[in-house]
């Protein structure tokens, strides 16, 4: 049985004392828009244990540029040609080269803080949304305002999008559109998280940021926020880790196609793990282990998630297959992560506190 932590014979979780603190701004030269690519030159090089304070910028900032952009975000939109925003849509900050990381290793990324950069965010009911047909193929933007005192968001106004929302980084000037009141009195809990983050896949050329996969990417699990740790399987030298697609609120399912999309400043620590591996992106929160399954068919995503949870319980918690299967049925909760990224997602969580204490 391989322990999930390195704190053998210890009752406290392992602390990795930060070795350095890096700053990584999102600038035209430090972002890549719409793709992961192992040939992309690193924007930053770090050592295991280093802290990174990085900017993640939403590709939906153009939905209300006055509220969602500052001058530095404008630079990204102005200076990144439309032709260089493909095949996906997300603005990714990075990549970060982690010294010594090799294929087969794991990047443990501890997300420490996620702070909204602006006071507003945008939700698009998109042409890739789950109920697009049912809404007469009309796309619609709802701009939300964040209230840091209550940690909630409320709708500021909404407008019907003219035409079809196809170009990443579309800029809409809504003084020229009709603003409508929306969701009067409703307050949505704010839970900032990264929709997309991950390592470069081992492929030649660009890979779209849209479908999530074993490298991480567009997982869109709102639990990937401050206090959570992700384990990403390294696929190329240096890992080449990037973050993007910041959200302040999203429901499981992300049914309209987007979250409340809003730029975030993110502090995280990267730890290179050579003693731990997992076949898919694994999420640890203070209370739960969470395993992800992906597939374009939700039925098969469910199967994939259940098989990887079986793997977690047998390989990392030391249970027999039979025991793991029974435990999953009576104590693990499956949820729908998203149904709007082409490759759909199912996640399954098991409480960490139900297992006997290790070591001691």
The C-alpha atoms of residue 355 and residue 287 are separated, in whole angstroms, by 12
Nearer to a second copy, 273 or 295 (CB): 295
**Residues 219 and 292 sit within 8 Å (Cβ to Cβ):** yes
Residue 21 or 131 having the CB closest to a second copy: 131
258: contact with a second copy by CB under 8 A:
yes
Rule CB under 8 A: choose which of 25, 336, 343, 352 binds a second copy: 336
Please identify which residue in 12, 163, 205, 329 interacts with a second copy, judged by CB under 8 A.
329
Residue in 37, 306, 312, 341 binding a second copy, rule: CB under 8 A: 306
CA 281 to chain centre: 11
> Of 3-42, which residues contact a second copy (CB under 8 A)?
none
- Residue 312 binds a second copy, judged by CB under 8 A: no
Residue choice 196, 256, 263, 269 for contact with a second copy (CB under 8 A): 256
Q: How many residues bind a second copy (CB under 8 A)?
A: 66
Q: By CB under 8 A, is residue 218 in contact with a second copy?
A: no
Instruction: Please state the closest distance from residue 321 (CB atom) to a second copy, in A.
Output: 7
Q: Which of 12, 205, 330, 360 binds a second copy (CB under 8 A)?
A: 330
Site string for a second copy, 141-170 (x = CB under 8 A): -x-x-------xx-x--x------------
Say whether residue 264 binds a second copy (CB under 8 A).
no
Rounded Cα distance between 146 and 44, Å, is 31
Q: Which of the stretches 44-52, 171-179, 269-277, 324-332 binds a second copy when contact is defined by CB under 8 A? A: 324-332
Q: Which stretch binds a second copy (CB under 8 A): 42-50, 77-85, 89-97, 301-309?
A: 301-309
CB nearer to a second copy: give 28 or 253. Answer: 253
DSSP H or E segment with residue 347: strand 344-351
Output the smallest distance, CB 177 to a second copy, in A.
14
* Buried b or exposed e, range 322-347, using 16+ CB within 10 angstroms: eebeebbeeebebebbbbbbebbbbb
Return the number of other C-beta atoms located less than 10 Å from residue 296's C-beta: 11
Report d(CA 288, CA 352) in Å as an integer.
5
Give the residue with the Cβ less far from a second copy, 276 or 355: 355
Q: Which residue has the tokens 């940690």?
A: 151
Place of tokens 């003084």: 175
306 φ, ψ (degrees, to nearest 5): -70, -35
Query: Candidates 51-59, 84-92, 138-146, 201-209 — which segment interacts with a second copy by CB under 8 A?
Result: 138-146
- Does 192 bind a second copy (CB under 8 A)? Our answer is no
* Spatial CB neighbours of 203, under 8 Å, sequence gap ≥ 6: 38
User: Using the rule CB under 8 A, is 251 a contact of a second copy?
Assistant: yes
Please check whether residue 321 is in contact with residue 327, taking contact to mean a CB–CB distance below 8 angstroms. Answer: no
Give the range of 55-63, 111-119, 207-215, 348-356 binding a second copy by CB under 8 A: 348-356
The CA R_g of the chain, rounded to the nearest whole Å, is 20
Q: Which of 264, 258, 263, 255 is nearest to 123 (CA)?
A: 258
Max intra-chain CA distance, the chain: 66
Distance of CA 351 to the CA centre of its chain: 21
Give the position of tokens 């009911």.
Answer: 125
Q: Are 345 and 219 in contact, with CB atoms under 8 Å apart?
A: yes
The pattern of x and - marking residues 104 through 123 that bind a second copy according to CB under 8 A reads -------------------x
Q: Which residues make up the interface to a second copy (CB under 8 A)?
A: 123, 125, 129-131, 134-135, 140, 142, 144, 152-153, 155, 158, 182-189, 249-260, 297-299, 302-303, 306-307, 310, 319-323, 325-336, 339, 346, 348, 351, 354-356
């Amino acid at each position: 049985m391989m322990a999930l932590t390195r704190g053998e014979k210890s009752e406290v979780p392992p602390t990795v004392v930060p070795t350095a603190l890096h700053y990584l701004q999102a600038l035209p030269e430090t972002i890549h828009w719409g793709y992961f690519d192992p040939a992309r030159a690193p924007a930053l090089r770090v050592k295991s244990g280093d802290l990174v304070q990085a900017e993640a910028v939403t590709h939906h900032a153009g939905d209300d540029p006055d509220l969602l952009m500052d001058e530095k975000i404008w630079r990204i939109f102005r200076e990144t040609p439309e032709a260089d925003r493909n095949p996906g849509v997300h603005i990714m900050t990075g990549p970060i080269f982690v010294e010594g990381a090799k294929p087969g290793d794991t990047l443990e990324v501890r997300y420490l803080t996620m702070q909204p950069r602006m006071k507003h965010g945008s939700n698009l009911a998109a042409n890739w949304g789950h109920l697009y047909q049912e809404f007469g193929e009309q796309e619609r933007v709802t701009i939300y305002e964040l209230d840091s005192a209550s940690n909630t968001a409320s709708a500021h106004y909404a407008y019907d999008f003219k035409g079809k929302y196809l170009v990443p980084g579309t800029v809409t000037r809504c003084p020229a559109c009709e603003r409508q009141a929306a969701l009067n009195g409703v307050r949505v809990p704010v839970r900032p998280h990264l929709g997309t983050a991950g390592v470069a896949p081992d492929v030649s050329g660009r890979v779209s940021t849209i479908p999530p996969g074993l490298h991480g990417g567009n997982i869109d699990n709102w639990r990937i926020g401050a206090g959570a740790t992700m384990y990403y399987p390294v696929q190329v030298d240096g890992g080449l880790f990037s973050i993007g697609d910041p959200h302040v609120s999203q429901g499981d399912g992300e049914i309209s196609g987007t979250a409340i999309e809003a730029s975030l400043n993110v502090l995280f620590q990267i730890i290179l793990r050579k003693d731990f591996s997992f076949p898919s992106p694994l999420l640890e929160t203070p209370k739960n282990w969470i395993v992800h399954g992906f597939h374009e068919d939700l039925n098969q995503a469910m199967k994939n998630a259940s098989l990887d949870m079986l793997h977690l319980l047998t390989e990392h918690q030391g249970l027999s297959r039979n025991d793991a299967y029974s435990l999953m049925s009576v104590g693990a909760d499956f949820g729908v992560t998203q149904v709007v990224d082409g490759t759909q997602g199912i996640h399954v969580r098991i409480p960490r506190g139900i297992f006997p204490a290790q070591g001691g």
